[in-house]
């Protein structure tokens, strides 16, 4: 979207193996809880706003930085901006939030925060991402929603 | 411990319900939300019945609705940056004025005790005071004291004193200073460590309760110059002091608080889906008050609770609004 890329040469990481579907996964009788891997699968293919790469490939999202508590209906996602001054950080956080809001049952409380120590203005970014009123207002902005939709749409 | 009993659930809104407001005189209620519509409910035959839908007043989310003290007007604050004034004309409401001026989302709107003043606040960091006479509205002041998004405005119950709560973690008090005939910030209340979402005066107007993203409730006491406990009042201006902090009760952001003018009970709306009620203890010292939680209703809504309002007519009756697109009517009893 920018003429000039902020992070010209981001470090690349491999993708993890596809999840192996077990017999229980396909059995409709078995109630299976959400786990970190499932949350990860929902967000790993979100596209970076700048690069033709996914958040998984850039290590912006990682399975180890996701916590799920099914009893308390909590999902906690920490994400790591590629550089400490990344100006796209709020947009990336918002894309993760939107994807999870759309995909998860409404009983879940979703926290999306910057991985501590990885961004110069993480407190301000976290406060904005946690403010549901500002998130709701942002999601009424058609231009912003179309940018987010481009990020969350899975490319074939 | 007291009990909060669910009397009725109103499921007419689509999407998140942001706010509810009781009519000051009749058993009547207005609600608003993400669906850009205001719904009016009237108590008939033992329950609340939806009477009217006010649509087409706003092009975006309606964040808050507020009745004028006479009950003739309803003001609505919207993310579309406007405030609409609706006039009750018997069996219908007409949009009689649209107030423009804020640069972006209007977050809150409230009428003063006399109904001659209206306050609004916005993400543009400003608080506006509007003067109302003969159905004309004129901007009296634009107060740009807050450093961030202003979440809530509330008038004193019987004086032209205004309080505002902000994303900048503070609450500010404004008054029309007669010596300069200008609205001025007369106090800044700092103690919360994150966004202050809402506030409410008690019946006397000399105390305030505030609620925050920091998961605490705070009680503030006003001290006039030459007060008996000897609290310093520099420049002979009344000061507001945090005299009590209620922490450890709420597990997520507290989105709203209402201090009942009739019963003295405090209700809170929380992001953990719970409505909590607090009461001041009998032997409480005004300079160091004690409040205890008298009820906590878990899953009062199946999602975040956005608003709680005590009925001004029927002591103990409470309305709440939630992200689960519902308005619930409750009754509190000891």
DSSP B273-303: S-EEEEEE-TT-BTTB--EEEEEEETTSSSS
Answer yes or no: do B61 and A137 touch at CB < 8 A. Answer: yes
Answer yes or no: do A140 and B60 touch at CB < 8 A. Answer: yes
| Residue in A with minimal Cα distance to B304 | A109
Q: Tell me the chain A residues in contact with residue B302 when contact means C-beta distances shorter than 8 Å.
A: 106-107
B window 99-138, beta carbon within 8 A of A: 104-105, 107, 123
A window 66-125, beta carbon within 8 A of B: 106-107, 109
Residue A19 has pLDDT above 90, yes or no: no
Q: What is the pLDDT of residue B233?
A: 94
Q: Does A35 touch chain B (CB under 8 A)?
A: no
Answer yes or no: do B151 and A133 touch at CB < 8 A. Answer: yes
Q: Tell me the chain B residues in contact with residue A134 when contact means C-beta distances shorter than 8 Å.
A: 123, 149
CA B118 – CA B128 distance, rounded (Å): 8
Q: Is the dihedral of CA A93, A96, A102, A105 positive or negative?
A: negative
Q: What is the pLDDT of residue B116?
A: 96
A142-152 vs A89-103: helix crossing angle, rounded to 10: 80
Per-residue pLDDT reduced to its tens digit, A106-132: 899 999 999 999 999 999 999 999 999
| Residue in A with minimal Cα distance to B149 | A134
Query: Which of B59, B303, B321, B324 best probes binding to A when mutated, by most A CB atoms within 10 angstroms?
Result: B303
Residues in CB range of B218: below 8 A, 6 or more apart: B191, B192, B209, B210, B211, B212, B242, B244, B245, B246
| Residue in A with minimal Cα distance to B193 | A127
Strands B291-297 and B305-310: unpaired
Q: What is the pLDDT of residue A31?
A: 66
Per-residue pLDDT reduced to its tens digit, A70-114: 999 999 999 999 999 989 999 999 999 999 999 999 899 999 999
| A15-43 mean pLDDT | 80
Least Cα separation, residue A131 to chain B (angstroms): 9
Least Cα separation, residue A105 to chain B (angstroms): 11
Q: What is the pLDDT of residue B201?
A: 98
Please provide the DSSP assignment of A46-114 as one string: PBPSSSSSBTTTTTSS-GGGEEEETTTTEEEEEE--SSTT-TTHHHHHHHHHHHHHHHS-TT-EEEEEE
Domains of chain B: residue spans and CATH: 3-333 (2.130.10.10)
Q: State phi, psi for B302 to the nearest 5 degrees.
A: -85, 5
Q: What is the pLDDT of residue A2?
A: 44
- ipTM given for this complex: 0.95
Answer yes or no: do A130 and B253 touch at CB < 8 A. Answer: yes
- Residue A153 CB neighbours (<10 A): 11
Q: What is the pLDDT of residue A155?
A: 67
Per-residue pLDDT reduced to its tens digit, A34-55: 899 999 999 999 999 988 999 9
A89-103 vs A122-130: helix crossing angle, rounded to 10: 30
Least Cα separation, residue A59 to chain B (angstroms): 29
Read off the tokens for B216.
């605490």
Read off the tokens for B289.
């008050």
CA B83 – CA B75 distance, rounded (Å): 7
| A140-153 mean pLDDT | 94
Q: Give me the tens of pLDDT residue by residue for chain B, a chain 334 residues long.
A: 899 999 999 999 999 999 999 999 999 999 999 999 999 999 999 999 999 999 989 999 999 999 999 999 999 999 999 999 999 998 899 999 999 999 999 999 999 999 999 999 999 999 999 999 888 999 999 999 999 999 999 999 999 999 999 999 999 999 998 777 899 999 999 999 999 999 999 999 999 999 999 999 999 999 999 999 999 999 889 999 999 999 999 999 999 999 999 999 999 999 999 999 999 999 999 999 999 999 999 999 999 999 999 999 999 999 999 999 999 999 999 9
- Residue (of A64, A49, A69) closest to A111 by Cα position: A69
Give me chain A's average pLDDT, please. 89
Q: How far is CA B108 from CA A44, B77, B238, B289, in A?
A: 38, 6, 26, 29
Q: Does A143 touch chain B (CB under 8 A)?
A: no
Answer yes or no: do B61 and A107 touch at CB < 8 A. Answer: no
Q: State phi, psi for B289 to the nearest 5 degrees.
A: -70, 155
Angle at B212 between CA B276 and CA B5, to 5 degrees: 15
Residue A1 has pLDDT above 60, yes or no: no
Q: What is the pLDDT of residue A4?
A: 63
């Amino acid at each position: 979207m920018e003429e000039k890329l902020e992070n010209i040469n981001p470090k690349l990481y491999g993708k993890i193996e596809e999840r192996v579907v077990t017999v229980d996964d396909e059995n409709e009788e078995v109630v299976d809880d959400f786990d970190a891997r499932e949350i990860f699968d929902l967000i790993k293919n979100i596209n970076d706003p700048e690069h033709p790469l996914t958040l998984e490939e850039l290590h912006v999202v990682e399975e180890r930085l996701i916590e799920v508590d099914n009893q308390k209906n909590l999902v906690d996602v920490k994400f790591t901006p590629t550089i400490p001054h990344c100006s796209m950080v709020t947009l990336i956080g918002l894309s993760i939030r939107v994807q999870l809001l759309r995909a998860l049952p409404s009983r879940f409380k979703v926290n999306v925060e910057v991985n501590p120590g990885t961004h110069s203005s993480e407190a301000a970014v976290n406060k904005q991402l946690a403010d549901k009123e500002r998130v709701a207002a942002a999601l009424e902005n058609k231009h912003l929603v179309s940018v987010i939709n481009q990020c969350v749409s899975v490319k074939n | 411990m007291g009990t909060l009993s669910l009397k009725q659930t109103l499921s007419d809104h689509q999407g998140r319900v942001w706010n509810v407001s009781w009519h000051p005189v009749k058993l009547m209620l207005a609600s608003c939300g993400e669906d850009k519509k205001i719904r009016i409910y009237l108590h008939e035959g033992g329950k609340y019945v939806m009477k009217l839908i006010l649509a087409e007043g706003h092009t975006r989310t309606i964040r808050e609705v507020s009745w004028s003290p006479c009950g003739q007007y309803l003001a609505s604050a919207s993310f579309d940056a406007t405030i609409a004034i609706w006039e009750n004309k018997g069996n219908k409401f007409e949009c009689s004025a649209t107030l423009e001026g804020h640069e972006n989302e209007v977050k809150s709107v409230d009428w003063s005790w006399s109904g001659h003043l209206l306050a609004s606040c916005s993400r543009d960091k400003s608080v506006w005071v509007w003067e109302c006479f003969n159905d004309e509205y004129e901007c009296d002041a634009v107060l740009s004291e807050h450093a961030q998004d202003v979440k809530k405005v509330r008038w004193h119950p019987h004086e032209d004193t205004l309080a505002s709560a902000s994303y900048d973690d503070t609450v500010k008090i404004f008054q029309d200073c007669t010596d300069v005939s200008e609205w001025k910030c007369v106090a800044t209340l700092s103690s919360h460590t994150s966004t202050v979402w809402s506030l409410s005066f008690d019946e006397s107007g000399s105390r305030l309760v505030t609620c925050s993203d920091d998961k605490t409730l705070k009680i503030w006491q006003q001290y006039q110059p030459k007060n008996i406990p000897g609290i310093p009042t520099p420049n002979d201006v009344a000061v507001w002091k945090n005299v009590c902090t209620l922490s450890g009760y709420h597990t997520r952001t507290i989105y709203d608080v209402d201090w009942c003018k009739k019963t003295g009970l405090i209700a809170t709306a929380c992001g953990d889906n719970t409505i909590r009620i607090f009461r001041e203890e009998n032997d409480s010292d005004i300079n160091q008050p004690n409040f205890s939680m008298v009820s906590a209703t878990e899953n009062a809504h199946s999602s975040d609770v956005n608003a709680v309002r005590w009925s001004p007519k029927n002591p103990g009756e409470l309305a709440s609004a939630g992200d689960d697109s519902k308005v619930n009517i409750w009754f509190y009893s000891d």
